[in-house]
Amino acid sequence: MCLLGGCKGKELTDYEKGMENLEKQNYKEALENFREAVSDGEDAAKAWRGIGISWSGQGAFDKAEEAFLTALDFTEKSEKNLRTDLSLYLVDAQYHQKEYQACIKTCDEILDEKKEKNGYFLRGSAYLHLDEYKKAEKDFSKVISGSKEYEDYLDIYRIYQECDLNADGAEYLELALEMKAKSPEDFYNRGRVYYYLSEFEKAEKELKTAWEKEYAPAAVYLGKVYVEANEPEKAKDMYQKCLKQDELKAEAYNGLAYCSMEQEDYEKALEYIQKGLEVKDREVNQALLFNEIVVYERSRDFASAKEKMQQYLAQYPADAAAVKENYFLQTR
């Protein structure tokens, strides 16, 4: 019973506040929460884990690596699940810094303890970047062994794509197509597979089926298919439909910006980018901000492009493509 003073819910700990901020992708706020949690003597391993994830979310993978190593120091050998979890985050941080040998070593330690699919995937990815193709193939074969997840095949393809080995990666996409679609999401994923294979008519057919079965994300990829097929009006129509779905708005504005950019309507493209940024979808913001730079560059406003690039690199220092683009802008 609540008397006089009224009822108050239990105040969240700093760690709990940090987890809430992580869920909202408020990485800077989460970082402060987890630092406070460490100072207050809360569970050190979990608090340092939170610090590492917060740094990763901001693209500061060197600091993330230090945090995950610190977190591991606070664990007991008996805490196998926590240690595996931390080690997988550590590998991801090492991978993003192109520390491929360290990545392989950490994966070896993970796989000695547990035959973890993500461990094989990350080790295979590191091997591929080191041109150790047979070892990469062996690890990737373990990832897809018995897998009915289209995402596993798509993830492997994207690593081959990163290494400019699209043709080799396409073999995994062909394997994915051997699975039969049973759900709207399956048709969506098959559409994505055909999209990456540049088989746009087949991609359109699968994605339309997913869309007709009310799987909303299919509209985004239909837009991409129409862009590749040089049908900008159809693409814009699909992106306009995406605007009716809150969770797709940012991607829709990004797609509309791209269409406008291709049609050399740079003012309209910037307008769409601003609308997209106002949605505050952190997962799409990076693409929007990068495309903003491209718009200024294409419209030959190199001063604005340079300024936006500096802001972008401060936010996403690990983006190799942007670093290359920045070199181009600095020589203008």
In whole angstroms, give the CA distance from residue 300 to residue 139.
Answer: 46
In whole angstroms, give the CA distance from residue 87 to residue 67.
Answer: 11
Query: 279 and 249 in contact (C-beta within 8 Å)?
Result: yes
In whole angstroms, give the CA distance from residue 84 to residue 113.
Answer: 8
Sign of CA dihedral 295, 299, 305, 308: negative
In whole angstroms, give the CA distance from residue 257 to residue 228.
Answer: 15
Q: Can you state the percent helix, strand and coil of the chain, rounding each to 5? A: 75, 0, 25
Q: What is the pLDDT of residues 185-194, one digit of tens each?
A: 999 999 999 9
Q: What is residue 11's predicted lDDT score, i.e. its pLDDT?
A: 87
Residues 6+ apart with CB under 8 A from 280: none
Q: Which tokens is 142 given?
A: 């373990």
The better pLDDT of the pair 163, 327 is held by: 163
Q: What is the pLDDT of residues 45-95, one digit of tens each?
A: 999 999 999 999 888 899 999 999 999 999 998 899 999 999 999 999 999
**CA distances (Å), origin 64, targets 46, 52, 125, 276, 301:** 14, 4, 20, 29, 36
Looking at the chain, the whole-number percentage of residues with pLDDT higher than 70 is: 93
Average pLDDT over residues 263-276: 96
Give CA torsion, residues 214, 220, 225, 229, to 10 deg.
120
In whole angstroms, give the CA distance from residue 110 to residue 114.
Answer: 6
In whole angstroms, give the CA distance from residue 191 to residue 218.
Answer: 8
In whole angstroms, give the CA distance from residue 40 to residue 36.
Answer: 6
Q: What is residue 314's predicted lDDT score, i.e. its pLDDT?
A: 82
Written as one string, the DSSP assignment of 224-260 is HHHHHTT-HHHHHHHHHHHTTSGGGHHHHHHHHHHHH
Q: Is 313 exposed, middle or buried (0-12, 13-18, 19+ CB in 10 A)?
A: middle
Lowest mean pLDDT among 105-109, 151-155, 245-249, 325-329: 325-329
Query: Is residue 3 pLDDT above 90, yes or no?
Result: no
Q: What is the pLDDT of residues 245-257, one digit of tens each?
A: 999 999 999 999 9
Q: What is residue 166's predicted lDDT score, i.e. its pLDDT?
A: 95
Give CA torsion, residues 159, 163, 166, 168, to 10 deg.
-80
Q: What is the mean pLDDT of the chain?
A: 91
